[in-house]
Structure 1
Amino acid sequence: MDRLLASLDDAPIVDKDGYEYLVHPISNGVPMLDPALLREVVIEVMQTADLNVDKIVAPEAMGIHLATAVSLQTDIPLVVIRKREYGLEGEVSLHQETGYSESEMYINDVEPGDRVVIIDDMLSTGGTLASICTALDDIGADISDIVVVMRKVGPSALDDTEFDATSLIDITVEDGEVVVH
């Protein structure tokens, strides 16, 4: 976790309408993502997550690179929860709200009884993960684990659900600086 912790020192913080937004290679793809950092994070995710599952689920966009790497290493199929509707048979829509946006997302290829692990980059306001968990639960999937790389400490919409996420590191952004807890 040395690379991940060191990368936080250089991560810019930008103001998005009063919300202190961390810009980081893992969560935003900028600044450029060093393969050694990605490798370190993926290995840690694989050691942390319950991977006795049928499918890996990741929300578009920034969960994709993490979940793809885990899928390649484990041969567990990957389902991407997308921001675009395709109208495929069985497609399930969900509405997600975060501290800085809201949109529809779409799930395909998750069936009742599927054991899934959700992998994502960041748990901040929890709006995306809470909506995804509710939709997967409504489908009848068994959410075996939720693993995020970083969690912003504080209340989250996920707190209002029966689901818990495991984070590799917990952070806050205070006065334009990242603080690791």
Structure 2
Amino acid sequence: MMQSASLYIKDHIRTVPDWPQAGIQFRDITPLLQDPTVFRTLIDVFLARYADAKLDSVAGLDARGFILGSVIAYELNVGFIPIRKKGKLPFTTVSEEYELEYGSATVELHTDACKPGDRVLLIDDLIATGGTMMAGKKLLERLGATIIEAAVIVDLPELGGSRLIESTGLPLFKVCDFAGH
């Protein structure tokens, strides 16, 4: 990836201090989604990386991973797998509880979301502590998927999530990072 694309994208991410609680520096991607040129640049970065990956599906984590994942899946002509917050999927599910930077949550996946051996890209907007990404990874692996890589727009390296994901042997693609959180 060109360094200039990374910086261009990073320049369009807004920092919202003390949200959703005091001490959190929330990295808001909505400004880059609102600008069609920046959004296209972002999607093109991912498409260039995964054009030859021979994927079966892209799995997006609720909710901003849906935005990225569905567009990337469409452009790559593969299926999209939503990994949702607990209680949002209507069919039989498997679930995984995890810790967030500021609480805990549970995500779920339909039991028929993928087949054993399916090659899946796991995507979200941001990685902080890695809890959400790890939960998605565990769910996909429970169904037998092969996760070829995890991908995010933003890495918050001081919170340890990227190290956690990489320590499992799963490669992690990061468009940009924000030192400090």
So what's the TM-score if we normalise by structure 2? 0.81
Residue by residue, what CA displacement relative to the aligned partner does 1:159-178 show, whole Å, maximum 9, x if unpaired?
Answer: 5533231101122236xxxx
Relative to structure 1, the CA distance from residue 163 to residue 102 in structure 2 (aligned partners, 3 Å threshold; closer, same or farther) is same
Q: Percent identity?
A: 21
Aligned length: 169
- What amino acid does structure 1 have at the position aligned with 2:176? I
Residue number in structure 2 paired with 1:36: 37
CA distance in 2, matches of 1:149, 1:114: 24
Higher relative contact order (CA 8 A, sep 6+): 1
Q: Say whether the 8 Å CA contact 1:115–1:144 is kept in structure 2.
A: yes
SS in 2 for 1:39: helix
Residue number in structure 1 paired with 2:72: 70
SS in 1 for 2:125: strand
Please state how far the C-alpha of 1:99 moved relative to its aligned partner: 0.5
Q: Say whether the 8 Å CA contact 1:67–1:78 is kept in structure 2.
A: yes
Residue number in structure 1 paired with 2:175: 168
- What amino acid does structure 2 have at the position aligned with 1:171? F
Question: 50, 58, 61: which is aligned to 2:60?
Answer: 58
- What amino acid does structure 1 have at the position aligned with 2:82? V
Relative to structure 1, the CA distance from residue 160 to residue 17 in structure 2 (aligned partners, 3 Å threshold; closer, same or farther) is farther
Relative to structure 1, the CA distance from residue 81 to residue 71 in structure 2 (aligned partners, 3 Å threshold; closer, same or farther) is same
For residues 117-136 of structure 1, the aligned pairs below 5 Å read 117-136=121-140
- What amino acid does structure 1 have at the position aligned with 2:168? T
RMSD: 2.3
Relative to structure 1, the CA distance from residue 158 to residue 32 in structure 2 (aligned partners, 3 Å threshold; closer, same or farther) is closer
- What amino acid does structure 1 have at the position aligned with 2:49? T
Please state how far the C-alpha of 1:96 moved relative to its aligned partner: 2.2
CA distance in 2, matches of 1:67, 1:158: 19
CA distance in 1, matches of 2:103, 2:130: 12
Residue number in structure 2 paired with 1:14: 18
SS in 2 for 1:111: coil
Please state how far the C-alpha of 1:51 moved relative to its aligned partner: 3.4
CA distance in 2, matches of 1:97, 1:115: 26
Please state how far the C-alpha of 1:32 moved relative to its aligned partner: 6.7
- What amino acid does structure 2 have at the position aligned with 1:110? C
- What amino acid does structure 2 have at the position aligned with 1:150? V
After superposing on structure 2, the runs of 4+ consecutive aligned residues of structure 1 that deviate more than 4 Å are 15-18
Residue number in structure 2 paired with 1:83: 85
Q: Say whether the 8 Å CA contact 2:32–2:39 is kept in structure 1.
A: no
Residue by residue, what CA displacement relative to the aligned partner does 1:40-76 show, whole Å, maximum 9, x if unpaired?
Answer: 1111011123631111100110111111111221111
So what's the TM-score if we normalise by structure 1? 0.81
Please state how far the C-alpha of 1:134 moved relative to its aligned partner: 1.7
Residue number in structure 2 paired with 1:178: none
Pick the structure with more helix per residue: 2
Question: 2, 10, 20: which is aligned to 1:5?
Answer: 10
CA distance in 2, matches of 1:106, 1:15: 25
Higher alpha-carbon deviation: 95-104 or 151-160: 151-160
Relative to structure 1, the CA distance from residue 32 to residue 55 in structure 2 (aligned partners, 3 Å threshold; closer, same or farther) is closer
SS in 2 for 1:133: helix
SS in 1 for 2:63: coil
